[in-house]
Amino acid sequence: MRKEQSNRFRGDDLREQWSRLHQTDREPWPDARLIGKLAKTHSSVASSIETYGGAVEVAEALQDAWRAFHSGAFARAIAAGEELGALGAPVANKAAAVDSLYSKRGAPQLLKALESAVTRGEQAVAELPDHPNAHYTLALVLGRYSQRISILKALAAGLAGRVRGHLERTLSLEPRHAEAHLAFGLYHAEIVGKLGSLAASLTYGATTSAAMSHFRQALGLAPSSPIVKMEYAHGLLLLDATGHLAEAQALYAQAAACEPADEMERLDVARARQGLQAQPAAVH
């Protein structure tokens, strides 16, 4: 964890920066009021209140888990989120998804961590079926797991339908969820890129037009987000690396120029710069 990132989120700083940090996933600020409201209809949240000694204590523990995430202490965010059960699954699984991209651990360890995240996510959506980010972060770790084992193997294992179902549920609960639109765009783009337009459409209902629609919605909802610009660019290249090269390069350049709000965005900006350098020059 970088010291300067850790210092940025001490005390009330996290609350003050929350809307900027969560512009793409619409996660509500986890205060005692929210925890108390959830406890009235969800037994797992009520149980957490009993364990921690009150809604205030649960809220502070959840805030600390998010503080660890935004500071780049992803392992600590996973552990802290897991302790909170369903409430903490979104932060734990988002941290696991980011860690799977940047960790230097070996493939077997990363796969095991993602399998644990999937189990955690499944428990969370069972206990909090109306929480958009319980569904979104489950779809996210399922997607990361699919990428690790290869998209073709994931399709054969039926993971595509699970990813799609949880993304659809996320957007039905929160239509302004930019990251879910982005992930849905990548879902379509990856399948089209692997199977071709006809097979992707007939077998999985994946189309280029749907991918583009979701990408554009994500960008419209979060126009300053580096991850949206970068993954939009990646999706364009999956669909047509030649035809979309100039547009993808422009998006990579915009992402690379973003001012990161936290450690995850710093990593995203760095990856965008690498992606920009890796692309051949566009032909005009």
Q: What is the pLDDT of residue 280?
A: 67
- Say if 244 falls within a structural domain: yes
Number of domains in the chain: 1
Q: What is the pLDDT of residue 13?
A: 94
- For the chain, helix (H) and strand (E) counts, in that order, are 17, 0
d(CA 114, CA 102): 13
- Say if 92 falls within a structural domain: no
Does this model's pTM top 0.75? My answer is yes
What is the distance between the terminal CA atoms of the chain, rounded to a whole angstrom?
Answer: 42
Amino acid at 185: G
Q: What is the pLDDT of residue 22?
A: 98
Q: Which residue has the tokens 């997607």?
A: 143
Q: What is the pLDDT of residue 278?
A: 75
* Radius of gyration for the alpha carbons in the chain, expressed in angstroms and rounded: 19
If you average pLDDT over every residue of the chain, what do you get?
93
- Say if 281 falls within a structural domain: yes
∠ Cα 236 237 238 (to 5°): 90
- Say if 268 falls within a structural domain: yes
Span 94-122, pLDDT tens digits: 999 999 988 888 888 999 999 999 999 99
Task: Provide block-wise average pLDDT over 10 residues at a time, the chain (284 residues).
Answer: 59 94 98 96 94 97 97 97 97 96 86 96 97 98 92 90 97 98 97 96 96 98 96 96 95 96 95 81 46
Q: Which residue has the tokens 């699970």?
A: 162
What whole-number percentage of the chain has pLDDT above 70? 95
Span 243-279, pLDDT tens digits: 999 999 999 999 999 999 999 999 999 999 987 887 6
- Say if 210 falls within a structural domain: yes
- Say if 255 falls within a structural domain: yes
Residue 5 contacts residue 263 (beta carbons within 8 Å): yes
Structural domain harbouring 208? 188-284
Tokens of 83: 């302790």
Strand ranges in the chain using DSSP code E only, listed in sequence order? none
∠ Cα 191 196 201 (to 5°): 65
Closest CA to 93 of 147, 154, 134: 134
Instruction: Supply the CATH number for residue 244's domain.
Output: 1.25.40
* SS3 of residue 209 by DSSP: helix
